[in-house]
Amino acid sequence: MRNKILKNKIASSAIRRRGGKGSIDVVVGLQWGDEGKGKNIDELLSHGIYSGVARFQGGANAGHTIKANGKTFIGHIIPSGCLQKDIELYIGNGVVVDAVSLIKEMRELEDLGFDVTPRLYISNRAKLVSYLHPFLDQADEYYRNKSSHKIGTTSRGIGPAYSDIRARRGLLLGDVLLPDFKEREENLRKFHHDFLNLYKEKHEFEIDEKKIEESKAKWWAAVEELKKLQICDLSFLVQKRLAEGKNILAEGAQAVMLDIDFGDYPNVTSSNTLPANVCLGLGIPHTVLRDIYGVTKAYTTKVGGGNFPARIKDQALEKAFQDAGHEFGATTGRPRMCGWLDLFALRHAIALSGVNKIFINKADICPINKGKNMKVVIGYKNNKKVLKEFPFYLNEVTSVITEEISGWGDSNHGVKNNKKVSKELRSYLNYIKRKLADLNVKIIAVGTGQDRDHFFNWEK
């Protein structure tokens, strides 16, 4: 049975829809990714309010984990609504599409009993990841490692694919249907090969020709499959659905703190993750945007390079968070660094993204027992100077200002009724609410486990 209170909250927003026309709500992560957005998106989609869900940025470097009815699916490129049979799935023009991952995920979903082909629509203006992009990514990361500027990319070719688009030599998804596609691909391939050879000659990067040949064969086979899918002018389709009075949910990948313009450059992802990019990544005007849902964990995690001011210094405690919260990347398997809830960063992320409703996930994960204090970061310092604004580069931060509040151990796992929430977690949530009071946001639900219904409602 679906959660009625949450449904009413979403539906109350649906009432202010635009004169019978539909609108678009957005879900974004407010930290450095892995906030558990997949679960919230899946929950939001289960109330019959949205007819479709859209990816608007990023590529197969995202990793959404959805658990429903005993089934687990880790999606990288297919939108999170895939486990709900009536929801249309959209991949927007802002997305870089890895054909091999896409086809593989479609097969996995088929094995789980979900044939998404009839309800999956891909923008002809989406960008195509070529089979050499991941190799270029690796070469770039290899070069950065040597010069100790490692970013920690997922090596899936996302950055190089976006670079090619900006340099106006990339391939669009709709190109696969053109008669001269082979020629276009060959031009790009030659350029990539020259680039890889440069890394080889100048920086001793080893090119694994056998692996490239294998990737090439897989990629061309996937492209043939891609041609059979519904490739369309997605902007037109989405606008048509809105005109029919249908509502759509746009799902962010990565998170606000990884935005290429507003994150800690260059330790960022290669696309704009802010809700503002929904308009450009789907081809819709800003006037159709309504609720912006932000997702945070009760603590913070981060992967990749760059400073992480809120990181827990006690290594054993950090490991306890990692183990209890299964903090290992869905895409890469890398352990995530764990930190205290960073309210200074969270406030910044809320201000940048215009979030009005918040989900707090993983409130069941707290390796600090009742009576013992945990920390919350409320400010950053550069030596003795307290920073008034979020810093230009995070490495300016030399220490953090913290406050302490009691932990609650594992006492809230699986709680679905807010009357059963432990006193300590209740105090923590009220504390967060007070700290965000001036930002006009509501904490609408709090996650207590992996399953879709492992959450309780909070503010009305």
Interface residues with ligand GDP (CB under 6 A) are 29, 33-39, 63-65, 67, 326, 330, 361-362, 364-365, 447-450, 454
| Distance separating alpha carbons of residues 336 and 368, to the nearest angstrom | 19
Beta carbon of residue 325, minimum distance to ligand GDP (angstroms, whole number): 6
**149 noted as active-site residue:** no
Beta carbon of residue 255, minimum distance to ligand GDP (angstroms, whole number): 7
Taking the least distance from each CB to ligand GDP, the nearer of 128 and 443 is: 443
Q: Which residue is nearest to ligand GDP (CB)?
A: 447
DSSP string, 199-234: HHHHH-PPP-HHHHHHHHHHHHHHHHHHTTSEEE-H
Query: Active-site residue among 25, 64, 259, 454?
Result: 64
Beta carbon of residue 366, minimum distance to ligand GDP (angstroms, whole number): 10
- Report CA 285 to chain centroid distance, whole Å: 22
Map residue 311 onto helix, strand or coil.
strand
Beta carbon of residue 334, minimum distance to ligand GDP (angstroms, whole number): 12
Beta carbon of residue 332, minimum distance to ligand GDP (angstroms, whole number): 11
Taking the least distance from each CB to ligand GDP, the nearer of 29 and 339 is: 29
Report the interhelical angle of 423-435 vs 343-353 (nearest 10°).
Answer: 50
In the numeric block, the tokens 């409602």 are attached to: 457
Query: Active-site residue among 25, 34, 291, 342?
Result: 34
**64 noted as active-site residue:** yes
Residues whose CB falls within 8 Å of the CB of residue 432, separated by 6 or more in sequence, listed in order: 341, 343, 360, 443
Which of 120, 93, 94 lies closest to 105, judged by CA? 120
Residue 148 backbone class (left: φ over 0; alpha: ψ -120 to 50; beta: rest):
left
Map residue 360 onto helix, strand or coil.
strand
First to last CA, the chain: 20
Taking the least distance from each CB to ligand GDP, the nearer of 64 and 375 is: 64
Taking the least distance from each CB to ligand GDP, the nearer of 207 and 330 is: 330
| Distance separating alpha carbons of residues 334 and 342, to the nearest angstrom | 22
Beta carbon of residue 288, minimum distance to ligand GDP (angstroms, whole number): 24
- Report CA 43 to chain centroid distance, whole Å: 16
Tokens for 58, please give them: 């990023």
Taking the least distance from each CB to ligand GDP, the nearer of 72 and 399 is: 72
Taking the least distance from each CB to ligand GDP, the nearer of 93 and 361 is: 361
Question: What residues act catalytically?
Answer: 34, 64
